[in-house]
Structure 1
């Protein structure tokens, strides 16, 4: 199985998080972009301020690599207007995929109408620009019942408000990879959580992100039915190695 076209090669650390200077961190981003071009991965997933750089490098290389970026990352608690403005800027800079962090805290607090509103308007903005939209639900912050309900909420908003031929462009995604769990519990994709997401998000596709560390784990996710896998160790995984990263 050639899993490269399932892989969203990911680097989302800020200079502070990486313990690097701004210029050093930018060089790491460039290395990830070059690798993703060379290895023919599906997409490079980077912070919004790096989208223009990626676009320039991809055009220079004549590559078909897609560019993804995160919106309202990693907490997802900004107002809808802030989310939409960030998404519009990312589109203008050349992003192909918009991975919004769903306001999972609001959802947990019972503010389902707020979450429905952001899913509706964020998705409408992305689809109007012919972009792929993903909604990150942060499974490590949710219990099983909440994973089921939030996956279904997103599905229901899309099915009610968009055309069937658009469903494949709206994903439910497991994790940011940045959520801090207690006792070193998994903070991302596991077989049980992805199974719940697929069962309750269908017909929307699912992206497994966070915690996929080996080729076999990636292959297992694909067999379950995921259409994308987010990892910061795409090359290692595609070559049958083991990721040293948590994402």
Structure 2
């Protein structure tokens, strides 16, 4: 599977989510996103206004997280977070499901909450974070089905704060669970080009990573080497 550097860049949500990050860290992260022309940045809710300002007219979207990282805030709070994020300029919303509800078998409550977030997001794309590290395959499937029924644009593996992140098996399962109109986002532990390419081969179209520069520079080096060998 051959990709150009710009093609891979447009599949990356550059992650700027660590709690210890300063405003300067956010500025540097947004500079990386603009330099490589990634799909979006994913920033903490409080950083949305700064990211919107920094990325104005760059073509890079601003996304943020809702109910992050545990998913256990009330639906009303998640809705309020979503409405505020969109009002401040976020165009992508990565929400964490209520993991406890899902594991308790209350799929209806999970679906209703996602539907409320989708409604509050309006035109913004909603990505539903399952936090697969804590789920059985049956629970992962149920969450994917609920997300699609609720109108989500993406299903996503992880927050990056659980014991494990995205795996090929989970991504293949998630891709098989949803229709082509729902995309799959991998997040958590994506720090190399080889990992990204392997995940793309099972149908993943978006990747959350803080290793954007390393991944794209690696691809650029490989392409230069390939062209040199052919010359």
TM-score normalised by length of structure 1? 0.83
Other-structure match for 1:86: 81
Unaligned runs of 5+ in 2: 220-231
Deviation at residue 201 of structure 1 after TM alignment: 2.1
Deviation at residue 202 of structure 1 after TM alignment: 2.3
Whole-Å Cα distance in 1 between the matches of residues 147 and 52 of structure 2?
30
- Kindly provide the CA deviation profile for residues 75-130 of structure 1, in whole angstroms up to 9, marking residues without a partner as x: 1111111000000110111101010111111110122221111011111222x2x1
On the 8 A contact 2:191/2:210 being kept in 1, the answer is no
Whole-Å Cα distance in 1 between the matches of residues 165 and 78 of structure 2?
23
Other-structure match for 2:141: 148
Q: Does 2:181 correspond to 1:197?
A: no
Deviation at residue 54 of structure 1 after TM alignment: 0.8
Unaligned runs of 5+ in 1: 19-24, 159-168, 182-186, 242-247
Q: Does 2:223 correspond to 1:228?
A: no
**Which contiguous aligned blocks of 4+ residues in structure 1 show a shift greater than 4 angstroms?**
none
On the 8 A contact 1:215/1:239 being kept in 2, the answer is no
Question: Map of 1:100-139 to 2, 5 A cutoff?
Answer: 100-126=95-121, 128=122, 130-139=123-132
TM-score normalised by length of structure 2? 0.88
Determine helix, strand or coil for the equivalent of 2:79. Answer: helix
Aligned residues: 213
Determine helix, strand or coil for the equivalent of 2:218. Answer: coil
On the 8 A contact 1:33/1:44 being kept in 2, the answer is yes
Question: Map of 1:38-187 to 2, 5 A cutoff?
Answer: 38-59=35-56, 62-126=57-121, 128=122, 130-158=123-151, 170-179=153-162, 181=163, 187=164
What is the Cα-based RMSD across aligned positions, in Å?
Answer: 1.4
Whole-Å Cα distance in 1 between the matches of residues 66 and 55 of structure 2?
21
Other-structure match for 1:217: 195
Determine helix, strand or coil for the equivalent of 2:165. Answer: coil
- Kindly provide the CA deviation profile for residues 174-198 of structure 1, in whole angstroms up to 9, marking residues without a partner as x: 000001x2xxxxx111110000000
